[in-house]
């Protein structure tokens, strides 16, 4: 396989929740041709604030992301497809803030970012400030593969995502009560 490890290393799930404390174990095929490692992303959840049940839910979500990527690689799929699939699992899980469940800006909106890179040719794509595109990682990949740009932000990124046929959602899709409560606490603490 073409330097799959390099492409998989390009996996960036910007802003998911658990941080290095919840690194998931790599999955390796019996022939040793590929491996996949993910992590829960930026931020820290103190163990003292995490019940065993909640911990199990986070670990289950991480395992589902690993399983999605692993299934593609095991079937002979590309590293890029595996990376996108793994990140989409995190984007669709409200426990992680890579998509549904994203943290709020101080203005009370969700603005999503994502980046992806193919290690075989160092081609990359990125988006920032999305508010309606359901899968930021799919938008980043579309930019990498279907545009002359490396990064698009805000309305330009949204317009490109629509033209690429990517699913759009109402901004309320990204809302979760726990993230809203976290924003309110930060704003109260700032006084």
Q: What is the pLDDT of residue 16?
A: 29
Q: What is the pLDDT of residues 108-128, one digit of tens each?
A: 999 999 999 999 999 999 999
Residue 46 or residue 83, greater confidence: 83
Q: Which pLDDT band holds residue 168 (cuts at 50, 70, 90)?
A: very high
User: Per-residue pLDDT for 154 more than 70?
Assistant: yes
Q: What is the pLDDT of residue 31?
A: 61
Which of 129, 112, 123 lies closest to 146 in space, CA to CA?
Answer: 123
Q: Please, where are the H alpha helices in 42-93?
A: 52-74, 79-91
Single pTM value for the model = 0.83
User: Per-residue pLDDT for 72 more than 80?
Assistant: yes
User: Per-residue pLDDT for 95 more than 70?
Assistant: yes
Q: What is the pLDDT of residues 8-40, one digit of tens each?
A: 333 333 222 233 333 344 444 556 678 888 877
Q: Which pLDDT band holds residue 105 (cuts at 50, 70, 90)?
A: very high
- Contact (Cβ atoms closer than 8 angstroms) between residue 40 and residue 19: yes
Domain with 123, as residue range(s), is: 4-190
| DSSP-derived pairing of the beta strands 35-36 and 112-118 | unpaired
Which of 182, 177, 140 lies closest to 161 in space, CA to CA?
Answer: 140
How many domains does the chain divide into? 1
- What is 81-106 written as a DSSP string? HHHHHHHHHHHT-TTSSSSTTPPPPT
């Amino acid at each position: 396989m073409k330097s799959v490890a390099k492409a998989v290393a390009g996996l960036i799930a910007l802003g998911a929740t658990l941080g290095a404390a919840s690194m998931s174990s790599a999955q390796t095929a019996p022939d040793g041709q590929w491996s996949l490692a993910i992590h829960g992303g930026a931020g820290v959840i103190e163990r003292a604030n995490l019940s065993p049940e909640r911990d199990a839910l986070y670990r289950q979500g991480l395992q589902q992301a690993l399983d999605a990527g692993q299934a593609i690689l095991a079937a002979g799929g590309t590293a890029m497809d595996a990376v996108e699939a793994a990140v989409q699992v995190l984007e669709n899980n409200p426990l992680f803030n890579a998509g549904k469940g994203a943290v709020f800006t101080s203005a009370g909106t969700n603005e999503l970012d994502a980046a992806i890179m193919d290690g075989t040719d160092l081609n990359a794509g990125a988006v920032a400030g999305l508010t309606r595109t359901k899968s930021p990682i799919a938008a980043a990949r579309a930019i990498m593969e279907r545009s002359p740009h490396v990064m698009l932000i805000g309305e330009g990124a949204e317009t490109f995502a629509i033209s690429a046929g990517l699913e759009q959602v109402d901004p309320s899709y990204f809302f979760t009560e726990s993230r809203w409560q976290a924003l309110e606490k930060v704003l109260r603490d700032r006084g």
